[in-house]
A and B are shown apart, each in its own frame.
Chain A
Amino acid sequence: MRRLLPFAALGLACVAAALLLLPYYLTILTYIGLAAIVSLGLVLLTGQGGLSSFGQAAYVGLGAYLSAVISTSLHWPPLATLPVVLLVSIVSSYVGAVITVGLSGHYLSLATIAFGLSAYFLFGGLPFAGGQTGLSDLPRLSVAGFEFRTPQASFILVWCILIVAMVVLSNLLDSRVGRAIRALKDGATMAESMGIDTRGSKLQIFVVACVLASLSGWLYAHFQRFVNPSPFSLAQGIEYLFMAVVGGAASLWGALVGAGLVTFLKQWLQGFLPSLIGSGGNFETAVFGIIIIVMFQLAPDGLIPAVRRLTGRAGIRPRAVADAPPLSTRPRAPRGEVVLSVRQARKSFGGLVANRDVSLDLRAGEILALIGPNGAGKSTFFNLVSGTLDADEGHFEFKGSSIRGLGSRAISRLGLNRTFQHVRLLPDMSVLENVAIGAHRRGKAGLFSALLRLDRTEEALLLAQAKHEVERIGLGDQLWTEAGALALGQQRALEIARALAADPQVLLLDEPAAGLRHGEKQQLAALLRKLRDEGIAILLVEHDMDFVMRLADRVVVMQFGTKIAEGQPEEVQKDPHVLEAYLGAAQ
């Protein structure tokens, strides 16, 4: 409940404002609320999901125009148009998202710019939408006979919707689905390897953001009682994005701060600049643009993080994690049974053959180390097994069924879970939640149960499991530390905990000991031995010979993309091919 206190305080502040403030200020606050609803969606989309949309104003326009046209031509009351607006915005944003979320990086931004432009010209061009003049005399919103006529009523309505949206989105972010969304920012590779459907997550946040935008548009149309194309232009789309970024796109409160700041600033500039420059132009746009540029030069992450840094209030507030029974695990293969079998794996990049007919077997309850000089093709092989890369040829079988071409998400869901050579944690997220991402596959709760917080039982199980894994690697006292604040050795251990949270049958570890101190290596070795004894199969790519030779049950040596030796550590160390590969040819 403590989580809801700030929202309750905001609600009380709104009631006080409605009672105390002059209508003029209430109207400005209503506009701030409308803008904040839109930029809230952008905080989710851009700040959390890493997708940036310049086209949100078009969805605001969609909501406004749709309701305006229906309520003026068919004489429907505004409340009746709301389901239509929501339905159309869900369908259209879903279709738009299906088309565009496949686009990566700035291609998506460009598509949304183009979309925003074409929508703007469309609003002005449609004959039944009144052209550039727009539509006027729209009906006021009324619910059960109560008409939202006064500034107080409109203000309370808009801010109630805003607060509900904030609560619902904060529910979302604090859930299994929310962690999947936050994992998007790091790129698809890590998230997919944790069994997250990144495309699905992107579709979800796109639709949620667009629904919020068109909801704001619907409110706007019946509050303003007049629509024309100009508030839905590309410039407005940029402004929404700026609102989300200026406050600090990592926080839902950033949307509110951004919307408030931008709206007040523009109001103030509109009143102040003409007296300064003394001409009728709208220089607030120019000054506003200059402020955007200067702000990015001075505080690239936005204002909230900058203020937090200054006041030293960074960090995540710890919460209690209730104990819960462990999640059910899959039956493990008996020790000694072959779980992973690779035959004739081949992969080339252009003319370079990175893997040439590599074959190996991995048994339950053994540690198999894959070693070789730099450029031997170890990481490529690793990526082929984990599905991050597609093999050109070869057979890959997990417990007797083929996994070739399934992709990293499906492979990780089967129980082959990996770590990354270059640590890929979410640095701003807590240790506990980072590990909980690994347990993604073991939960089921979807978007709606997350939004409405119906997922608490399952969430408690997931977090308890994650906590157990964190304690297992010895970081039990740092559950709520930001993962980025850990030492490198601890981050590597965290990668392993995250893989363990997925209940692995096969653990794929890419250079887990790199950069670790001696003591840390010994702890890591002890942990891996323990996991082996539990019946997990471990495939290890590693450079540290000492570490490998003490730990591994069997060793496979690669050079120039081919396997040159395989066997017990002692055998391999005496193998003439291996000696030649590492030390050069004996004269």
Chain B
Amino acid sequence: MNSFVASYLIQEGITNGAIYCLLAVAILLVFSVTRIIFIPQGEFVSYAALTYAALREGKLPGTVGFTLALVSVMVGARLLRGIAEGNLRHSLLEALKSALLPLLVAVVVFASAPYVLPAAVDALLAIALVTANGPLIYAIVYQPLAKSSTLVLLIVSMALHLVLVEFGLFFFGPGGARTEPLLDLSFSIGSLPVPAQSLAIYLAAAVLILGLFLFSERTLYGKALRAAAINPLGARLMGVSSTMAGSVAFAASAFIGAVCGVLVSSVTTIYYDTGFVLGLKGFVAAVIGGFVSYPLAALGALAVGLMESFSAFYASQYKETIVFTLIIPVLLWRSMRRRGTPEEDH
């Protein structure tokens, strides 16, 4: 391997690493607020990329139908629960309130789809639509399970992943999508060309990670969200609604996933099921961060990206095996450091 190949592999590794890093941060955020290990994080990436690609081609993205389906399921479920609990009017009001924003975004996207708009506007529309799905998914799937164990939530997350992938196939079809980069520029460092899109990815990763870190460590609101995860009852007594916290966390996770999707769609072709493997690698990085530390997860994501691009070069058929096996020594190291507390269970 010469130094050009090496520096190319490094650059590719860092670009992928930055994407994994964003996904890891989203997974961490959801976990630290809700105790949910959100396996389908990557599905937001696919959905956003395919939505953006459809908008660029002036087609109506399948996400509009998906959002409408989610809204009607959410309203229906809330009404059923309202009837069961005998406070129909309250539930109806709540359901309409949660439905308003997603419906609005869906209508705007529906109306603007046939027109040729600047790429940045399409990107924003795609991100907004996918972000609106986050809280809807939380309300439908996870909110009724708020008292369940982490294991049950994990199994449900796996099930939700299966559902979302199949829905992706239904709403977007089996074809892949690749878009023009938002910024069609290229710099070079030495002999190595660095596309501006990669820089945009690095920048987005850096800004979001720093922002989330400051938000959760330094602001009262961020602390309230974390408190809702550590002790939901205690937080509720202090006036923090764990439902609201969950909604916010899912909106943020969908937003981050959507940003990734729009950015990554110009780097690689995205299919309805591409997001899963991307998300899982973000997940490996989140595990390296022990599900608590944003900066460690960021380092982990870079390690995963580099490991992947180098193993793709040396042993491409074992690329995925190598990346996913990496998690096991890390878990061991993690759990070894946690020894010595008497109530280590659960």
Interface residues of A (CB under 8 A from B): 52, 54, 99-100, 102-107, 109-111, 114-115, 117-119, 121-122, 125, 186-189, 235, 238, 241-242, 245, 279, 281-283, 285-286, 288-290, 292-293, 296-297, 300, 383, 388-390
Contact = CB atoms under 8 A, between A and B. Distances in A.
B184 interface: no
A117 B169 contact: no
A122 to B, nearest CB: 5
B206 to A, nearest CB: 27
Interface of B: 37, 141, 144-145, 148, 150-152, 154-156, 158-163, 165-167, 169-170, 280, 283-284, 287, 317-325, 327-328, 331-332, 334-336, 338, 340, 342-346
Contacts of A188: 344-345
B328 A111 contact: yes
A105 B325 contact: no
A68 to B, nearest CB: 19
A104 B342 CA distance: 13
Nearest 6 interchain pairs by C-beta: A187-B345, A286-B166, A289-B163, A292-B159, A289-B162, A114-B327
27 contacts: A52-B154, A103-B332, A106-B150, A106-B151, A109-B154, A110-B37, A110-B287, A111-B328, A114-B325, A114-B328, A115-B324, A117-B324, A118-B320, A121-B320, A186-B345, A189-B345, A238-B155, A281-B166, A285-B165, A285-B166, A286-B163, A288-B162, A290-B163, A296-B156, A300-B145, A388-B342, A389-B342
Nearest to A124: B317
A285 B328 contact: no
A292 B325 contact: no
A186 B166 CA distance: 37
Nearest to A126: B317
A110 B331 contact: yes
For the residues of B in contact with A, the DSSP-based class is helix
B151 A238 contact: no
A80 B343 CA distance: 47
B331 A103 contact: yes
Given A114-B327, A286-B163, 15 more contacts: A103-B331, A107-B287, A110-B37, A110-B287, A111-B327, A121-B320, A125-B317, A189-B345, A245-B155, A283-B170, A285-B166, A286-B162, A289-B166, A296-B155, A300-B148
A103 B333 CA distance: 10
Contacts of B158: 54, 238
Contacts of A110: 37, 283, 287, 327, 331
A286 B167 contact: yes
Nearest to B336: A102
Contacts of A102: 332, 335-336
A241 B335 CA distance: 24
A125 B145 CA distance: 39
A186 B343 CA distance: 11
Contacts of A118: 320-325
Contact of A238 (B162, B284, B342): B162
A105 B346 contact: yes
Contacts of B156: 292-293, 296
B250 to A, nearest CB: 15
Greatest chain A CB density within 10 A among B154, B162, B280 is at B162
A389 B161 CA distance: 41
Given A283-B166, A296-B152, A187 B346 contact: yes
B155 A241 contact: yes
A297 B145 contact: yes
A82 to B, nearest CB: 27
A293 B318 CA distance: 33
Greatest chain B CB density within 10 A among A99, A187, A297, A300 is at A297
A281 B165 CA distance: 11
Nearest to A122: B321
A109 B156 CA distance: 13
Greatest chain B CB density within 10 A among A100, A117, A189, A288 is at A117
A57 to B, nearest CB: 12
Contact of B155 (A115, A242, A286): A242
Contact of B154 (A106, A125, A389): A106
Given A121-B318, A283-B170, A296-B155, A289 B160 contact: yes
A296 B145 contact: yes
Given A114-B284, A296-B156, A107 B37 contact: no
Contact of B151 (A109, A121, A289): A109
Greatest chain B CB density within 10 A among A186, A279, A282, A300 is at A300
Contacts of A115: 324-325, 328
B113 to A, nearest CB: 23
Given A121-B318, A121-B324, A281-B169, A300 B152 contact: yes
A93 to B, nearest CB: 14
Greatest chain B CB density within 10 A among A109, A110, A125 is at A110
Contacts of A235: 162
A290 B150 CA distance: 19
Contacts of B145: 296-297, 300
Contacts of A52: 151, 154-155
A296 B154 CA distance: 11
